[in-house]
């Protein structure tokens, strides 16, 4: 389930320690370390002081990039959904069978999450997602709308088994949580993503669907 908000490069305060990757923008380093700490300790149990220390910067420098800890969370949540929502709107307009487009959308989403520089494994169970100040909801709603439309179309032509469409959506979107918890690097991303999505689709596809052919078509669509 995310277009990254652009981070304007600015000159901040002196660092306490060298960055883990000197090529990273300080804001990126903050997001990486914050996501790791949120995954290890939870959002509420992590302080901005700990985030700043992990990122190798002084605490006032963190506020220079992110005024509050909540702003860090909001950026991470948006990263997880905005690009996928944009891709969903794009894939909806493609001329391809609904199941192929749905498969491609799940591949795109899982690929983004599995290969994420951020540890988003804390998000599926984070109570903070209920906070009305978070700005991800319109993007998530757009993503769900496309998923629901493609599920309905695939069921109509018999490519998905006849079942409660809402349940079908929940089963498919479970792949998002799995992808968040299965971050891998480099060459492992594609094989991990392919396995996650194939097992998801296999459970809902009708017996008449050629999964190999569907996956091949979806793979080409999933890489814009």
143 within some domain: yes
The domain that contains 138 carries what CATH number?
1.10.357.10
Cα 205 from Cα 224, distance rounded (Å): 25
Domain with 183 in it: 81-221
Cα separation, 197 vs 177, in Å, equals 12
- Is residue 35 in some structural domain? no
Q: In 3-state terms, what secondary structure has residue 145?
A: helix
Question: So what's the pLDDT on residue 21?
Answer: 64
Tens place of pLDDT per residue across the chain (224 aa) = 543 343 444 444 444 444 456 678 899 999 999 999 999 999 999 999 999 999 999 999 999 999 999 999 999 999 999 999 999 999 999 999 999 999 999 999 999 999 999 999 999 999 999 999 999 999 999 999 999 999 999 999 999 999 999 999 999 999 999 999 999 988 899 999 999 999 999 999 999 999 999 999 999 999 86
Is 147 part of a structural domain of the chain?
A: yes
CA distances from residue 174 to 1, 59, 72, 167, 169 in whole angstroms, order as listed: 10, 37, 25, 11, 8
Q: 170 lies in a domain?
A: yes
In a domain, 171, yes or no: yes
Long-range contacts of 60-63 (CB under 8 A, 24+ apart): 60/13, 61/12, 61/13, 61/14, 61/15, 61/26, 62/30
Is there a domain that residue 10 lies in?
no
Q: What is the count of structural domains for the chain?
A: 1
Q: Which pLDDT value is given to residue 224?
A: 67
Provide the pLDDT for residue 20: 56
Whether 204 and 163 have beta carbons less than 8 Å apart is answered as yes
Q: Does residue 105 lie within any of the structural domains? A: yes
pLDDT at 5: 40
């Amino acid at each position: 389930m995310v277009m990254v908000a652009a981070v304007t490069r600015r000159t901040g305060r002196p660092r306490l320690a060298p960055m883990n990757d000197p090529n990273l923008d300080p804001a990126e380093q903050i997001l990486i370390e914050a996501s790791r700490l949120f995954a290890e300790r939870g959002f509420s149990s992590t302080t901005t002081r700990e985030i700043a220390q992990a990122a190798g910067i002084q605490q006032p420098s963190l506020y220079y990039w992110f005024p509050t800890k909540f702003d860090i969370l909001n950026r991470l949540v948006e990263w997880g959904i905005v690009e996928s929502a944009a891709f969903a709107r794009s894939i909806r307009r493609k001329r391809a069978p609904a199941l192929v487009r749905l498969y491609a959308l799940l591949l795109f989403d899982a690929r983004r999450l599995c290969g994420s520089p951020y540890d988003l494994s804390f998000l599926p169970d984070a109570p903070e997602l209920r906070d009305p100040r978070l700005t991800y909801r319109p993007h998530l709603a757009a993503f769900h709308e496309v998923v629901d439309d493609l599920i309905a179309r695939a069921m109509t032509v018999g490519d998905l088994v006849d079942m409660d469409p809402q349940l079908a959506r929940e089963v498919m979107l479970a792949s998002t949580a799995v992808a968040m918890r299965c971050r891998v690097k480099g060459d492992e991303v594609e094989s991990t993503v392919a396995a996650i999505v194939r097992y998801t689709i296999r459970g809902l596809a009708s017996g008449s669907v050629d999964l190999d052919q569907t996956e091949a078509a979806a793979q080409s669509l999933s890489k814009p």
